[in-house]
Structure 1
């Protein structure tokens, strides 16, 4: 896979992880010049239509989630039978690795991580997307300490056509009881999983463990977790209460929204009183349970199954997270007293509810403002008017926690007293405020920090690197310039140390084309010069280079000198003048000059017998060694015997003096 280019754009450079159905690779976006992460479906699943549909759904769902605490999805596609998703490349380490390396994490840091994860989940839940696989492996801790939630790999929108599948997905150590039994899920399931994550981060120990996934899942359904303070005694009672509320077996007793859980964690961090009971749901808000036919389960009126606490015969549970005289972490000390306490509690609650009805709504008392937070403007108007109120002003504002187009604020607040016919003002979210990332190229570190601050973004120096950029200026940034991002997004930048010195390869003896390609691939500029004739190097072969070896900065010039081959004049000889010489003298002269000869006595014409009357090649001309020069010799008398006796005609001779 290394070196492969997906869709002609994303070049794979290294593998950085593998999951249950996909591998994750680091890659270079050759169009935008940035580093990205590419998730590639494993081959055994690529041909499975169901897995392929889930993989594509992940990309579609995650691409719509915009938050500083969610890993961005840039692109997805299909290339040569393989599905892939292109995501933001996050530098840092996953929370699971941090826990394994360090053990229990500082509890304030645990609360900060939990608050940021809640904000990410709130964005998803507002779009009816449940993560379904919240675990420390999917929470990346960046160098600046902030986190990003990734891998909505098994997330599904509530209105998805596949939302009714009975497949149980997720990791056993972190799945909610209802997820373990394949029940329909709400955002409260993610709250339970996050509670397990915070439990492990705060104590360094999993809340439930076992020899296999099935045994762990059974414990999620049937067993209560050991209180964190019994694992790590110095843990804050408030943080313990938040974690245990999130991990309540009954989804109605947990935090009902990520916003509620975030509020509790923020109160803990700010040193404010943590109001667990008022955060969401609570005992009084849970529908009455009746015994179901499934052991360990109680059937709700709305069709959602709720787990029965262990040791309870009623399906109801007292919400207490700190020890008391009679109840320890929500468990009755006496099994016999449990049902009696539960029955008494139900009776008390019923009486309180009846009194409340009689005092307020039943007797025409003060009216309560409906909660329209998170609704579309149209739905909010209908809700307000249906409750007997009118809509006042409708304004817009940026809100990082509420998806654009939905109500993020209302005045008066929900559950406030307001006479019928009163006005309720609403604010519609414009989503997270976005800005364009400035181009930091050529800026100094100080200039880059100021430019990002002025743009409402956070700057993070990521280190030095050798590059073609001028020394001490920005060589690279991530995300790239011009991208629209949320206000407050962290932009990393690198400072150039100048071009990197690279070894110059030796290309002497290579042909010109190969030598040029080799040097250019090493990052050098090539200058070609024509050299002299050479017996050693053929025509077009590099006979020398400058510099030859050593180090040179990338982009530097290497000069190569190319041979012209052998000197064409080197083997040339000058034809001597043999006219007027005797035949033997002419022959010896030609042979001494490395020339061949031929005799012609028939065409010599008149002259002194036995002498050369003329020659075929003009004297003084340069010819190749071994060239035949015909000499025309005036014949002797008929009774004469001479050298022409065997060479009448034009037979060439290359050196035999007998001729």
Structure 2
């Protein structure tokens, strides 16, 4: 049976704005739906908290507070949070919908990846985590399932459901959060987490991309946890012979069992990754591991809240691919040339032809000598080096320092090299110059005063200031007109990095009390709601209820809740009560009769009269056995 059809939210209009189309994932804290924002006409994902958790005020407050924090991470590699709100008992987040697959899908289908592909995926992941770490947050659940690869090739980090502020208590009681294969030793032993646990998890993910397998395995999660505590992650080259030493060093640095030895956050690890890439040659980056295209993959201990699309929709990533099939190219190289036909003695060559041939041979030889005699060299690896270190390396390579430019960077340390022209490893003539781009660190800007501006204008002001519009929370206000900004977070005048997302609180206008229209005829219900300043939508499906067919069975938002003027109330109409056959209980004892009627869905009333005060047998019933009556209605039994 398709459980999606039974989900009460599918087909509904949540908060008068989000049309829920399908359920796509279920997690421990929330259910994720694909929905359409009817105001902006765009597809998005709705993460709706489970009703059992929504009754916990403290949990809801933390859920909303953390959602606001994540929404401020306006980073191209983070799944964005657009909106947050509540509709009756439903507390939700409106998030970016990513069409594509997960890194887990890629690993299952393709096995180990080429080093270039692994680093191409790891770098945007670290950039996203670096933005979170510098904003004061730690993900705590990094794994291939939470790395989304869009159909357009963009890499995004998803499911910040376990995210916590770095400076808050992060220990767990009685359980360990995260997937066991990616947990750092300190998470397992103390249950605590700081940015270095994300660094450890990324090191494990890199190992898995390079080798096609996890570093530690076992018959049970407990065995895997034990190995993470007591055994080092082995070098990837032990599984993939010939893998570059720099990649072994990268994995060893990120997965050290001692947290103090690891890079202190994802930004520091990203700098190491870029330095390692710069030190690798094209042949090392494009080497195809023998584990490529392995079909076997053990993911018994993995769980994910992301349901990916079919791999047939997978964008062709530059993984395990060459410009043309290796077999075809090899076969052409190995194919023996066709035998030349036998000819008679060569004709006499003229002196001119002989001289020309000799000169041609000498010219080619001279060219080869010139190319290989030290006239050319390669640009040394300079990424993440200080300006002074870069100049020294260029001088040692016999190269000049070209134009030096500066640029802002959120991920590259101030005063170090962001890029070079030509790029590291490029072939260049000796004594030529190499241009350097040096990081000035993150650009710092002030949050403008946005109060009193219409939402679209406030967003324009943020972009003009070098900032990004973040999550929008709507609140009732008697003082601020509907659709205009009440406040921002961070507040006006706060200094922050350029590109930071600024959360906005926007007025919903004066509140309107939603009247109770259940049990009313549709026309009367619509008139009453419209008089209150609300719009009306009729749900496509009808339900059985105690009310007559055509009357309102239920409404969303519910009665006595508050809504903004112009909001939509969804009405679900009744199909009438469900009719149930009444069991025949005449002649049965009172207890037996009551039990049968209640099991059939009826309420029971006893009529004993004067003669039945001491009797215990049913003499009659208000609806005869075999007839039907509305489920939930009352059947009176006469006792004599």
Q: TM-score when scaled to structure 2?
A: 0.43
Structure with the bigger RCO (C-alpha within 8 Å, sep 6+) is 2
TM-score, with length taken from structure 1: 0.42
Greater C-alpha Rg: 1
